[in-house]
Chains A and B, each alone.
Chain A
Amino acid sequence: MFRKIFLPCAAGLFAVLGASAANAEDGGLNDMQIAHIAYVAGQIDIQYAEIAMKRSHNADVRAFAETMLRDHKSVNDAALALLEKLGATPEDNPTSKSLLASAAAKRAELKALKGAAFDRAYAANELSYHQFVNKTVEGTFIPAAQNAEFKDLLGVALATFKVHESHAEKLVKKLGK
């Protein structure tokens, strides 16, 4: 019922809260949980890029990592600005927690490598990570999102991450096996 109610942005928070009540019943994610996961996903890629900036001497890898730092920060800043406008707070959840746990393991793995082996592992992880995130954003988050502005922002994020995915694909090819 709540999901059918369309409200302009001043009442956006109530739309979000209403949706969250409706979704909690059927076990789906609400907007504030999705926002939390999407934000965490961006932070994780920023952390991978920070490792690359410390460890890689390859110009292509460093340029890619700098773009990840710049773009994920911009998208996350846009998300924070929207949440502030809606007066909403992202909600921690098990998906965010498990994403963070597997990212910590991946960071430890990357930090054990150096030189060309690091570059290849970083690029391969960027490709698979963006593929996974894009599948989730496109297949789950965007269809589930209730607030129209939030849904639009997820679309912008998806467009950005798809560009990153194809950039990562080229990087993987260039670095070779």
Chain B
Amino acid sequence: MVAATSQRANVMRSALWAGLIALIAGGVLSLATSASAETHVVEMRGFEFFPAEVNAAIGDTIVWINKDVVPHTATAADGAWDSGLMETDDEFSLTIEADTSTGDYVCTFHPNMVGVISLD
């Protein structure tokens, strides 16, 4: 009886281990894929983009967050993409694709606010 019980316990334990290993492997795999597609956060703060320059790769996402009291925009210098008006704490995300317009972008409300997206 005792032996049989411990046998079952062993089977269960190895099943648990197998599950755990699968979970870890899955986690590592998903980490690997997310590592190749990064998210870059740019804050709009004190009438500046922080950081002012982002080095991004295709597949990455850039998220702008307005931390100022006044509204801002993040707008491609060539107008190819535009967040539109962002109130305090609003977020805008842009996923960089092969044909996304990179380089300079501005806040259309405050022409002194300039940022750059450079491609890795």
Contacts and interface: CB of A to CB of B under 8 A. Distances in A.
Interface string B57-90: 0000000000011110000000000000000100
A170 B110 CA distance: 12
A71 B71 CA distance: 7
Interface of A: 63, 66-67, 70-71, 74-75, 78, 156, 159-160, 163, 166-167, 170
B interface SS class: loop
B69 A70 contact: no
A67 B112 contact: no
Contacts, number: 32
A interface SS class: helix
Given A159-B46, A159-B47, A167 B111 contact: yes
B5 to A, nearest CB: 63
Contact of B69 (A66, A160, A166, A167): A160
A160 B109 CA distance: 12
B78 to A, nearest CB: 18
Contacts of B112: 163, 166-167
